[in-house]
A and B are shown apart, each in its own frame.
Chain A
Amino acid sequence: MTATYLETLSAGQTFWRNLAEIPNSDRFRMCIQCGTCSGICPFGKWLEYTPRKTLAALRMDEFEEVLQSNSIWMCVACAACTAACPQQIPTLDLMTRLKEELLLTGNVPAELQLALENSRRYGNPMGESPKKRADWTTRLDTPVPILGKDARSVDVLWYVGDFASYHPEGQSAARAMVKVFQALGVDFGILGPDEVSDGDSQRLAGERGLFEWLAIRNGAQFTRRHFNLIVTTDPHAYNAIKNQYPALDICYPVQHYTEFLYERLDQLQPLLTHEIEAAVAYHDPCYLGRVNHIYEQPRALLKAIPGVRLIELSHQRDNSLCCGGGGGGMWLDGFQWEKAHSRLSEWRIRETVAIKPLEDFLSVVRTLMTKPKSNGKSSLPDTTILAVACPYEKPRFSDAAKVIAPDKGIQVLDIAELLAKAIA
């Protein structure tokens, strides 16, 4: 191809050629326009260019029109489209590339713009002072080791993440994690103020450059510490460190805390002595479940807690419903609300509430089958808990529960919090 030929390519044709950089991009040509991706997309109804239509438009070189629409910002990067595609097309990567194109033209909703600018300036999307990133550790009974640059070596480097560091609900899950680690005698430490955002949500929101910059900064901090394993409480960070950082030559073994604890279940089980009488529905986070195939370990941990009865929601495992926080969704609430007037998190809460009738039936059956306690009170759980394992989910589901089911008593708790409660 001569230089002049490349110059004559339209923007769409250039974009199409650049897609070749995506792994498995040869599969884009195999799209049969079946529409499964659009059908399974949770916000598909509000996407002017659904995944299927986007591919069709590209193939017809109508890319300019696709770029005119800003409905791509409805995409929450849940990867349902990719998981469902019969041709195994990396559809999510296409949607992400589209966001990258829009960002280059400056077409980005204001809330997301602020989150990206904050990430650049402060290393976190909230715009909080980086010096305060480890302040959440100050009110704990036992200190959390913050690994300085010349520190001793530890077994586990716990990558905490933005929300766990700065958001009150994330911080409460982080404190619970500390309790669990300490109960198990885990030799761990955190980066503290040297940690910056893992960058995965920024990447999925179309800021590839920003993601790389954040990743390289974290990578530099990792090289200055001595540890055997990274454990993280954030599936987005897990995904970043496991699947995205290696391409930047940042390679470390990493586990999500549910994997880590599952491997130590025989040590953990005897410590779980406090009963939690509840029906617990587990929500599979997109980036733990569907994208990284971790389904059974979180469930095993929940089942290990005495008193817990694990319930499966109708959308589960690779079919789980996104909470709506990914792909920049955490910072697109206003934009997405304007278009959809509904929230994915509320959908999920409705599903949780819907298990109640089944619960009531089961509880009747159990009453008939068990002897009542000597004090005459029933031993049946009347609490419903939605168990989560991703820091975006807690605030999103709590808010949704407050809005649409305020009187149903649904608690939203991270698995770590449940484990911590079960440890005397």
Chain B
Amino acid sequence: MSANILVVAEHLHGQVLDITYVMLAGARRLAKATGGKVIALLLSENVQALSQNFNADIVRSYNHPAFEDFSNDAYLHVLEGEVKEEQPRVVLFGHTTIGMDLASVLSARLDLPLVSQVQRFEALNFISQICGGKILAEGALPEPTALVTMTPGGYKTEEGQGQNPPIETKQAAGVEKKRARLVRFIEPPISDVDISKEAVLVSVGRGLQNQEDLAMVERLAHALHGAVSASRPLVDKGWLPTSRLVGKSGKAVRPKLYLALGISGAPEHVEAITNSEIILAVNTDPNAPIFDFAQYGVEMDLTELLPALLEKLEQEKVS
């Protein structure tokens, strides 16, 4: 039983995903409380380049071609061995499309307790954010080894960054058998707009009930020299392409101005806009979580506000 904190690093197509740094930041806090080390587990042949900015005491890497593309079975095989051998105090996974495929399966296989949607830690207590961000749940991290899936937003990525941690390479055996195999990646269609590079985003969510009100939103984006983006519900309806999706499954954005129209502010969306300079939210629900993240708010129906706003902008332009 060690006091160490194991972090299951996430990477895709040669890039480290931001959640890895968030986990490392969390791991650093936990390690302080346990007196242990932060061990980043990185499964890739490209370990040097990927781990160069990890704030970790050790980067433990396994080399095998099996890790280069989708490989839940391969990851689980290694993780099982690692956890049994290392017996860490906490294992951190991303609450992501990668981490969630692993954490629960491992919990069932190894009979280890699991806590999900954890945003941050206080000593050896976890604080999870559930119910669309409306409720926080706190508890003690179960002993002896707790598996945790972490959401972004509790720590800044900078806190998880460091310089060239030492690398330990181990051999991976028995990872060839994959019951789920990658056939191909399907890149998102190239659109004329990369929302992650726009300075002004006019973003719409569930509050936009009629598709043809989108025209009004487009006009506003145009008037502000920005682009239209959206939260999940509208993309699911096909009203906007996935390239415009802001959120956990879409893109993280860092505009100067982010207008959130009819967006409630669920964590999956908010995590992608925390780097905006100014967030201005419009929503009919005064208790919408978005108002906790925005600098300015308007409690109004966007279909009422927009025509008046567009008119005023027209007037200002003329004068």
Contact = CB atoms under 8 A, between A and B. Distances in A.
The reply to whether chain A is a binding partner of chain B is yes
Interface of A: 110-111, 168, 333-334, 337-338, 399, 402-403, 406
Contact of A337 (B212, B237, B311): B212
B209 interface: yes
Contacts, number: 20
Interface in B240-258: none
Contact of A111 (B210, B301, B303): B210
A261 to B, nearest CB: 29
Contacts of B210: 111, 333-334
A333 B311 contact: no
A111 B311 CA distance: 28
Interface string B189-211: 00000000000000000000111
B212 A333 contact: yes
Interface in B207-221: 209-212
Contacts of A110: 237
Given A111-B210, A168-B301, A399-B307, 17 more contacts: A110-B237, A111-B209, A111-B211, A168-B304, A333-B210, A333-B211, A333-B212, A334-B210, A334-B211, A334-B212, A337-B211, A337-B212, A338-B212, A399-B303, A402-B307, A403-B307, A406-B311
Contacts of B301: 168
Interface in B290-319: 301, 303-304, 307, 311
A406 B312 CA distance: 12
Interface of B: 209-212, 237, 301, 303-304, 307, 311
A302 B307 CA distance: 30
Most buried by A among B209, B301, B311: B209
A403 B303 CA distance: 12
Most buried by B among A168, A334, A337: A334
Contacts of B212: 333-334, 337-338
19 contacts: A110-B237, A111-B209, A111-B210, A111-B211, A168-B301, A168-B304, A333-B210, A333-B212, A334-B210, A334-B211, A334-B212, A337-B211, A337-B212, A338-B212, A399-B303, A399-B307, A402-B307, A403-B307, A406-B311
A337 B212 CA distance: 7
Contacts of B211: 111, 333-334, 337
A110 B311 CA distance: 31
B301 to A, nearest CB: 6
